[in-house]
Structures are given as structure tokens and as C-alpha cells.
Chains A and B, each alone.
Chain A
Amino acid sequence: MSDWIAIAMLDEIPTMGARKLQTETQEIAVFRTGNDEVFALRDRCPHRGGPLSQGIVHGDTVSCPLHNWKIDLQSGEVQGPDDGCVNTYAVKVDEGVVYLNLAQAESAA
């Protein structure tokens, strides 16, 4: 039943920053915004594959470190004028622990 996996303590992710999560098959970027919301996206920019976890986080947006495309953390959509979309994954924070749900992501994707 429990598809929620604990991946980190909230404190381990820098505010307005991100950590990269390495799974067996892929890399996921786990973001923490200025007001402590947490989001998880596939760590690949839809433009040229830039590592989003290395970008600058502002508001609910991350700017890709390679060519500065801006990606909405909630929806995974690239903001205009560019086009594209990144997979998002379900995450939640419970008593300072960050949980990720990969199963839910698969059905959503």
C-alpha cells in the first residue's frame, strides 16, 4: 500500500534550492522553495537535457542552468515563450521528512 518513500529530511534540501535524487533508473530533482514547498521533477530540461537540480529556484519556478529556460515546479510546464514539459512526481512533507511517490507519478505521466 505505502508507495511513499522517505527520501530526505526537509532540512537537507537548501531553501530556494534543490537536491538531486539518484534512483536506479533515473535522476529526479527535489526542490524546496522559499516558502518551504517541496516539488519533484525529472532532472532533465526539455530543451537540451540540462540538469534542473542545478538551476536557480525563484518563486515556484526553476531556471535551467544551461540556457535559462524557466520551468514551473507545480506543473512541470515550460513557461513562455518556450514550449515543453517535464515529468513531475508526487511528494509530501510529514513532520520534517520528505516523501516521494513514484507509483503515483507513473500513473500521472
Chain B
Amino acid sequence: MSKQKLILIGNGMAGIRTVEELLKLEPEMYEITVFGAEPHPNYNRIMLSPVLAGEKTIDDIVLNSRDWYAEKGISLHTGDPVVEIDRISRQVKTASGNTLSYDRLLLATGSNPFIIPVPGHELPGVVGFRDIRDVEMMLESARQHKKAVVIGGGLLGLEAANGLMKNGMDVTVVHLMDILMERQLDKPAAELLKASLAESGMNFLMQAETAEILGDDRVRGVRFKDGSEIEADLVVMAVGIRPNTELAQQAGLHCERGVVVNDTLQTFDPRIYAVGECVQHRNSCYGLVAPLFEQAKVCANHLAMLGYGRYEGSVTSTKLKVTGIDLFSAGEFNEGEGDETLVLQDPAQGIYKKLVIKDNRIKGAVMYGDTMDGTWYFQLLREETDISGFRNTILFGQHDLGDAGHGDETRVAMLSDDAEICGCNGVCKGDIVNAITSKGLFTLDEVRTHTKASASCGSCTGLVESLLASTVGEGYAAAPSKKAVCACTEHSHDEVIQAIRTAPLKSMRDLFDYLNWKTPDGCSSCRPALNYYLLANWPGEYQDDAQSRFINERAHGNIQKDGTYSVVPRMFGGLCTANDLRSIADVADKYQVPEMKVTGGQRIDLFGVKKEQLPSMWKDLTAAGFVSGHAYGKAMRTVKTCAGKTWCRFGTQNSTGLGVQLEELTWGSWMPHKFKLAVSGCPRNCAEATIKDFGVVCVDSGYELHIGGNGGIKVRVTDLLCKVETEAEVVEYCGAFTQLYREEAHYLERTAPWVERVSLGYVKQRILEDEAGRKALFERFQYGQQFAQIDPWRARAEGAEAHEFTPLSINRMRVAS
């Protein structure tokens, strides 16, 4: 049986979304052909505003690349509009003369910008704001001309005006009403908006009605009804859109303002469906993506012949995408008879919130300046929740009291699971949280790929980020000590460490048996952790297991995204000699290292080394006196130092010398996570010691010791542990602190979260108050270092683990046999 033929007219957001939804349900049912008038694959039209403003490029906003169509077996014809639908023979005809028949047809022709038909509206330099071509034309004008007039002070007009201003044009917005965005805002909010746009340099002509566009071979100016004129080299018409019904009308389909469809998105011809801005459903036409995507879902359901979806219309909400402006509106926000309003106004902070209420239910909301609770109000509105219980505090937001600093985070955490976070794609909080926890997502991008949340207009990015913070944060903070190491066991990190010490367990096999591991040999999460715990607790006794280490530690180099490695020779305290540099340069030449750079930890990184080259390269570096920099490992990384007393006029102690000493003490030590140190010569702190795991700031009277800092995703400034007077004390405290962390932190827990978990007080008690304990810790550290300070490079250059670095080859055995 041959497949049914589906033709989509209109390669835009609603049409392609419908196809995507359909492919999810029935990937094989149709042979799909798409005709698009524009020469591009489907792109995110919403993002034309940021493209115009220079915040994104056209490549950034492509939603479906040509490869996508090919992969899905869709035949795509761009730049070839359909000019005729013959419903009797069920064929479409295109501008280029193509004729193709269909079993089902999907209309998604979008809308056209409305161009006011005043004299001069066809002059070059008059443009709508709808597609890539319009944007290119505006950008071109901005390069050559200075003055722009935007007719229309609605959403689109203001975004266009903002974009043109960003491109250096002098922009005047002309608006018929006395309120900007009157369909989304009430007067006070509109005034705040206008004031803030005016401050950034936008000009306004309110209550001005355009009479004529002036010019001969290009626009020169605009004349208004009252006879006044202004100059213009570019006129953008953004006064509204008209559903594009031309083709449907000509095919005899019933149209009013838009192509009329029923709740299953069918037109009056049951073989023809329509979605998007071109349709009129229950008397409404929509101009925002959220309702169109809802339509797409229902339409796909029917195209897939499942037949149970119903589209019943949408309530919409709006946000303006002008960077730096926070604005939200939804529902009916201008009070009618019998409505009540609740208003919060804080002009000094530029905050305005208004709720229109009837019978204790929200009918509409307008917010400016602080829109965090917009989603919450919008949900109350759609669900028609009775708000009498919290009317008094509703304007302060869902979360009204008692949090300092975690604003966003706590507030999103309080939203219910079915609260919609991403309006464009209809993704609820529950979906996002689920994806984060079940799929182990950590970044915004991952959430985008997995849920599509925040992947369209980006307005909800802040919310998604807070959700990420509260979800991942919660998982981490709620029960760290009870959390199982991984799916291979029920035991927590602490229980495993305890067992290793008391049982005692000195090999991986014993450990698996003793703790009833569920898998025969663990997994890539637990094996590296167990290997570390065994190594840290039984130095000299436990035999390190290379196969339980991540490749970086196994190969003693950082694997890069192309599978090559990087090599970082250790330079103690960041000091080096001309000879050191020369040897590094020689090695770089000899092995044709493609790129070198100075790292954030003051070492030299040689990138792009092939694995097979590593041992001989290390041999040369070892011969020149270098040891491995461990830049790849969960290990002590570097001691960063500042210029220091020898040279710097502010220097107090021998800070560089101390740095070298600390690096000599700690190098080679394996850690739960990476571990960085720094020594600064004075409180100016040029070595940034206060964002290190262990930092020393020298002062006139001695040394301040700081612990538990890190840079990275979440910067944490160190806590001051104590002040000591001699270098010997610094060394002892450093060794003791390091050992405490090595013995008690969980694998992959950096000092910052560890200190927060066990508390600074606990660390102080172990290191400061318990002198004997401190000395014992320091001794254990020194004992362990005997086994750790064996240069892995030298060992491997001399042939250890050779199999790791030599590939097998097909011919080798033939020769041998």
C-alpha cells in the first residue's frame, strides 16, 4: 500500500510544528511535501526582533535545518509559493509550474503585515516587519540612512524601533492612540514603558494619524492628518497583521477574517486542514505562537487519524522582547463594569502591577518592572481560581515574605507542577523538573533539547534557570548523606567510606562483596569513586586500578573534544626559567603542537597532542626536569602566586617561595575533586587566593589562611580559617586541611560544598582546636605523599602501562606468526 500524500503550504512556525507533532505520532503514515514562499527553511520568526537588535544572527534562529527535512524524508520546496489549489482534482500548483496531488492538505500561510494604503505606501524604503527579507532590508537601511519612522506603537512596532535604535538609527514611533501597546497595557504601565524607552533615546509622536508618505524614488518623510511632517529615510509599518487567506478564498474555502476552521482544525473542505495565524477559530484569530502550537498538536492528532484532540481556543499572555524591559500582560486588564482592581505602584523602582478581579477571580493582569509572578497570575486566571484566601497579599507575589536573596529560586520552587513555564511550547513545571531529575540535566541547553522549554522566544529563560537551580540544588541539599553512590548500591558515600576504614576493605573486589554491590563490576559513576576512597585510605597498600579511572587520569592528559590530549608541565608556584621555557618550546616544535596557551592556573598548556605521542613527549619533558601538572585529574592542580615581595612594592612575606613550598608539599596528591591553591603577597590579593580551595594571604604580621573557595559555575568566596605566624605553620595547616578533605569529602564534592555541608565550625574544631588531631592529619598526609609523588610521566615514559598508548594494528600479528 502506498503512503498517503500530505502537502503543507507555508513553511512557517505553525505548519512545521504540526508536521513535527505528526511525525511523533505517525512517522511513516504520510509522504510529506512542503511548499514555502520564503527561500529559507523554517526559522523562529519571533526571534527576528533580537536579530534586528543584533543580539542573534539568522543562523541562530533556524529551527529546522535542511538536513532535518532530508532526515525525515520530507521533500522541501523553498522559494516556490503555491498559487492555486484545485479541490476537485486534489492538486496544488506552484509559481514555478509544479503540480502535485494530495490526499490531505494543510494550510499554514500565516499572515501579512497590514500596510496602510496611504499615498506613497509603495515607495522604496517602506517596509513591514514580518520576515528575514524585511529585517535584511532594515539592516541595510540602517547602514546607509539615519532617520527611521515606525508607524505603530504595539508589540511589533516597539521591537522594530528598539532594533533600529540599536543599529544606530534615530527612531520615532508614531502611534494613533495615546497609550502604547494599548491591546496589552493599561495607561500607567504604558507610561512607565514609554518613559523607559524615551530614556534610552526613542522618540514618540502620540495620537498622530498618518496621511501620506512623502518621497520620489525613496521615502523622504511622513505627513500627518494635521498637516505636520517629519523626515524619514525608512518607514516601518507595524500597525497590525491580516491573516493570509488569499489562496483559500480563491479555492472557494469559507473565509471571514481568517480561514474558518472547526475544533479539529478542519476547513469547510474536510480534506483540508489549516493552522496558524491564517485561521479563524470560534471567531478569534491569533497572532502569538502559543495558541498556534496548541492548534498544531490537535491538528496533528487528527492527521494521524487518532481523532480525539479538540482545540477549544486559547487565552494568551504577552511579553515584550526588548532587553532590559520586563513587561507582562494577560486577559482583560482594563476594568469593566462591576470589576475590581488591585494595584501596586512603586514609581521609584519602576514597578507596577495591576490585577483586574471579578467575583474573586482574576480576569486580567498587567505588570511592569517585576514580572516574576506573571506565570502564577496567568495560571490563576486560566484556572479561574478563587483568590479570596490570599487577596490581601496576592500583589506581593506567590511568595510574599521572608527570603533574602533567593528571590527567583524560591518563588519558582513554589509553583505547582502544572504551572506553565514556557508559554511558547506549553511546557509545565512538572515536565521540566521531571526531565531534570530523570535525565540528569544540568544546563539550560540540555533542558532546551529535552523539553523545548525556553527554546522559542527565550522570555522564560530566567524561570527555567531558577527551576534548574532549585531542582538540582534541592536534590543536592535535601539528603546528601543518604543518597546512594549510584544505582549499583543502596549505600551512601559515607557508609562506603566507613566500611573501607573499619571492615577494613583494601580491594575493589572485597568492597563489592562486602557491601553486596548489585552489579558485577560497578559502573562508570561508582568505580572512580571507590578507587579514590581505597587509594586515599590505604596508601601504599591499595593497588591503583587504572581501569577505574576516567581517561584523563589514566592517560595523564586532558582528553579534548576531538579525542586528542593536552599536556601541562608543572611549574612550581608558577615560577620558571628561560631554560624551562626553551625546553617546552623545543617539545612543542618537535611534536608540532598546534596550540599553546597560558592556563588560568599560571601553567602552560600544550593542546592537540595525539595519544600515541604522549609517552615520548613526556620523556623529553621529564628529561628537561618537568613533572606532570595533573591539570587533568581530580587532584591537586596548581599553586598560583602573585609577583611577591621580591619585586612588588606592597609585598609582605616571601609569598612566591611559600607557594613553591606548598606545591612541593601537595603535588601528586589525588583528591575527591580538583584542588587549587594560591598565595598572595598582601591583601591586594593579586593571586586571587580567596576563591581557591586553600588560599594564603600574607600580611605584615603573618599569614591568613582561607578555605573552601572556588571560581567556576558558582563562585564561592573562601571562609577565613585562621591566622598563623610562621611558614612552618602554614605548611602544617595546609597539609592537615587537605588531608581532612581527602578523608571526609565525598568523591566529586569540591571543598566549597563540602565546607558548607560539614560547616566551617567543624573544620575549625578539627584543625584549630584539636592540635594533636591536626598533627596526626598532617602526618597521614605526608605518609600518603610518599606513594603519590611518583611522577606518572616518568613512569610511563619508561614504559609503564604501555598498552594504554599503543594502538593495535592488523598486520602486527601476521608478522609475528
B507 shortest CB reach to chain A, Å: 14
Contacts of B803 in A (CB 8 A): 12-14, 19
Q: Tell me the chain A residues, 20-58 only, with Cβ under 8 Å from chain B.
A: 20-24, 27, 30, 34-35, 48-51, 54-58
The answer to whether A56 and B550 touch across the interface, beta carbons within 8 angstroms, is: yes
Contacts of A24 in B (CB 8 A): 810
Tell me, in angstroms, the Cα distance from A20 to B528 when the chains sit together: 22
The answer to whether B813 and A7 touch across the interface, beta carbons within 8 angstroms, is: yes
The answer to whether B809 and A21 touch across the interface, beta carbons within 8 angstroms, is: yes
The answer to whether B521 and A5 touch across the interface, beta carbons within 8 angstroms, is: no
Contacts of B590 in A (CB 8 A): none
CB-CB contacts of B538-569 with A at 8 A, as 1s and 0s? 00000000111111001100010101000000
Contacts of A12 in B (CB 8 A): 803, 808
Contacts of B817 in A (CB 8 A): 6
Q: What are the 6 tightest A-B residue pairs by CB atom distance, in nearest-first order?
A: A63-B524, A6-B813, A56-B524, A54-B551, A21-B808, A34-B521
Beyond contacts A8-B808, A54-B551, A66-B559: 4 other A-B pairs, Cβ-Cβ < 8 A, are: A21-B808, A34-B520, A54-B554, A65-B559
A11 shortest CB reach to chain B, Å: 10
Contacts of B519 in A (CB 8 A): 58-59
The answer to whether A20 and B808 touch across the interface, beta carbons within 8 angstroms, is: yes
In the assembled complex, B2 has its CB within 8 A of some CB on chain A: no
Contacts of B812 in A (CB 8 A): 7
The answer to whether A22 and B524 touch across the interface, beta carbons within 8 angstroms, is: no
The answer to whether A56 and B559 touch across the interface, beta carbons within 8 angstroms, is: no
Contacts of A15 in B (CB 8 A): 547
In the assembled complex, B523 has its CB within 8 A of some CB on chain A: yes
B650 shortest CB reach to chain A, Å: 45
Tell me, in angstroms, the Cα distance from A47 to B561 when the chains sit together: 12
Tell me, in angstroms, the Cα distance from A20 to B804 when the chains sit together: 9
Contacts of A34 in B (CB 8 A): 520-521
In the assembled complex, A74 has its CB within 8 A of some CB on chain B: no
12 interchain pairs, CB-CB under 8 A? A6-B817, A14-B546, A14-B547, A21-B809, A21-B810, A22-B808, A48-B561, A56-B527, A56-B528, A56-B550, A58-B527, A59-B521
B438, B546, B563, B810: the one within 8 Å of A81 (CB): B438
The answer to whether A58 and B809 touch across the interface, beta carbons within 8 angstroms, is: no
The answer to whether A81 and B439 touch across the interface, beta carbons within 8 angstroms, is: yes
In the assembled complex, B807 has its CB within 8 A of some CB on chain A: yes
The answer to whether B523 and A58 touch across the interface, beta carbons within 8 angstroms, is: yes
The answer to whether B563 and A50 touch across the interface, beta carbons within 8 angstroms, is: yes
Query: Given A5-B813, A7-B813, A56-B547, are A22 and B523 also a contact pair (CB < 8 Å)?
Result: no
Contacts of A104 in B (CB 8 A): none
Query: Given A16-B521, A19-B803, A54-B555, are A49 and B809 also a contact pair (CB < 8 Å)?
Result: no
B524, B554, B810, B814: the one within 8 Å of A68 (CB): B524
Contacts of B813 in A (CB 8 A): 5-8, 97
A6, A20, A57: the one within 8 Å of B547 (CB): A57
The answer to whether B524 and A49 touch across the interface, beta carbons within 8 angstroms, is: no
Query: Given A16-B547, A50-B563, A65-B550, are A21 and B807 also a contact pair (CB < 8 Å)?
Result: yes
A102 shortest CB reach to chain B, Å: 9
Q: Name which of A27, A55, A58, A59 has the most chain B CB atoms within 10 A of its CB.
A: A58
CB-CB contacts of A63-93 with B at 8 A, as 1s and 0s? 1011010100000000001000000000000
The answer to whether A5 and B810 touch across the interface, beta carbons within 8 angstroms, is: yes
A67 shortest CB reach to chain B, Å: 10
B547, B554, B561: the one within 8 Å of A66 (CB): B561
B799 shortest CB reach to chain A, Å: 14
Tell me, in angstroms, the Cα distance from A50 to B560 when the chains sit together: 9
Contacts of A19 in B (CB 8 A): 803, 807-808
In the assembled complex, B522 has its CB within 8 A of some CB on chain A: yes
Tell me, in angstroms, the Cα distance from A24 to B548 when the chains sit together: 31
The answer to whether A58 and B807 touch across the interface, beta carbons within 8 angstroms, is: no
Q: How many A-B residue pairs have CB under 8 A?
A: 88
Query: Given A20-B807, A81-B438, are A63 and B523 also a contact pair (CB < 8 Å)?
Result: yes
The answer to whether A49 and B810 touch across the interface, beta carbons within 8 angstroms, is: no
B485 shortest CB reach to chain A, Å: 13
Tell me, in angstroms, the Cα distance from A27 to B807 when the chains sit together: 9
Tell me, in angstroms, the Cα distance from A17 to B803 when the chains sit together: 11
Tell me, in angstroms, the Cα distance from A56 to B523 when the chains sit together: 8
Tell me, in angstroms, the Cα distance from A27 to B562 when the chains sit together: 14
CB-CB contacts of B787-809 with A at 8 A, as 1s and 0s? 00000000000000001000111
Residue on A nearest B523 in the bound complex, by CB: A58
Q: Tell me the chain B residues, 752-791 only, with Cβ under 8 Å from chain A.
A: none
Tell me, in angstroms, the Cα distance from A105 to B559 when the chains sit together: 29
Residue on B nearest A50 in the bound complex, by CB: B563
Contacts of A59 in B (CB 8 A): 519-521, 523
B270 shortest CB reach to chain A, Å: 36
Tell me, in angstroms, the Cα distance from A21 to B527 when the chains sit together: 25
The answer to whether A49 and B563 touch across the interface, beta carbons within 8 angstroms, is: yes
Contacts of B561 in A (CB 8 A): 48, 66
Residue on A nearest B804 in the bound complex, by CB: A14
B634 shortest CB reach to chain A, Å: 14
A33 shortest CB reach to chain B, Å: 8
A73 shortest CB reach to chain B, Å: 13
B439, B521, B524: the one within 8 Å of A55 (CB): B524
B702 shortest CB reach to chain A, Å: 45
Q: Tell me the chain B residues, 516-538 only, with Cβ under 8 Å from chain A.
A: 519-524, 527-528
A107 shortest CB reach to chain B, Å: 19
Tell me, in angstroms, the Cα distance from A16 to B817 when the chains sit together: 27
A78 shortest CB reach to chain B, Å: 14
The answer to whether A58 and B521 touch across the interface, beta carbons within 8 angstroms, is: yes
A39 shortest CB reach to chain B, Å: 14
B527 shortest CB reach to chain A, Å: 6
Q: Tell me the chain B residues, 419-471 only, with Cβ under 8 Å from chain A.
A: 438-439
A8, A50, A58, A81: the one within 8 Å of B524 (CB): A58
Tell me, in angstroms, the Cα distance from A97 to B523 when the chains sit together: 27
Contacts of A6 in B (CB 8 A): 813-814, 817
Contacts of A54 in B (CB 8 A): 551, 554-555, 559, 563
Residue on B nearest A17 in the bound complex, by CB: B547
Residue on B nearest A65 in the bound complex, by CB: B551
A36 shortest CB reach to chain B, Å: 12
Tell me, in angstroms, the Cα distance from A38 to B528 when the chains sit together: 22
Tell me, in angstroms, the Cα distance from A86 to B563 when the chains sit together: 17
Q: Tell me the chain B residues, 316-368 only, with Cβ under 8 Å from chain A.
A: none
Contacts of A20 in B (CB 8 A): 807-808
Contacts of B523 in A (CB 8 A): 56, 58-59, 61, 63
Contacts of A68 in B (CB 8 A): 524
Residue on A nearest B801 in the bound complex, by CB: A14
The answer to whether B810 and A7 touch across the interface, beta carbons within 8 angstroms, is: yes
Q: Name which of A7, A21, A56 has the most chain B CB atoms within 10 A of its CB.
A: A56
Tell me, in angstroms, the Cα distance from A80 to B9 when the chains sit together: 36
Residue on A nearest B528 in the bound complex, by CB: A56
Q: Tell me the chain B residues, 634-666 only, with Cβ under 8 Å from chain A.
A: none
B524, B554, B808: the one within 8 Å of A30 (CB): B808
Tell me, in angstroms, the Cα distance from A96 to B438 when the chains sit together: 42
B512 shortest CB reach to chain A, Å: 10
Contacts of B548 in A (CB 8 A): 16, 56
Tell me, in angstroms, the Cα distance from A34 to B809 when the chains sit together: 23
Residue on A nearest B809 in the bound complex, by CB: A22
A47 shortest CB reach to chain B, Å: 11
B551 shortest CB reach to chain A, Å: 4
Tell me, in angstroms, the Cα distance from A81 to B438 when the chains sit together: 9
Contacts of A51 in B (CB 8 A): 559, 563
Contacts of B554 in A (CB 8 A): 54
Tell me, in angstroms, the Cα distance from A48 to B814 when the chains sit together: 34
Contacts of A70 in B (CB 8 A): 524
Query: Given A81-B438, A81-B439, are A7 and B808 also a contact pair (CB < 8 Å)?
Result: yes
A28 shortest CB reach to chain B, Å: 9
Contacts of A8 in B (CB 8 A): 808, 813
Tell me, in angstroms, the Cα distance from A20 to B563 when the chains sit together: 12
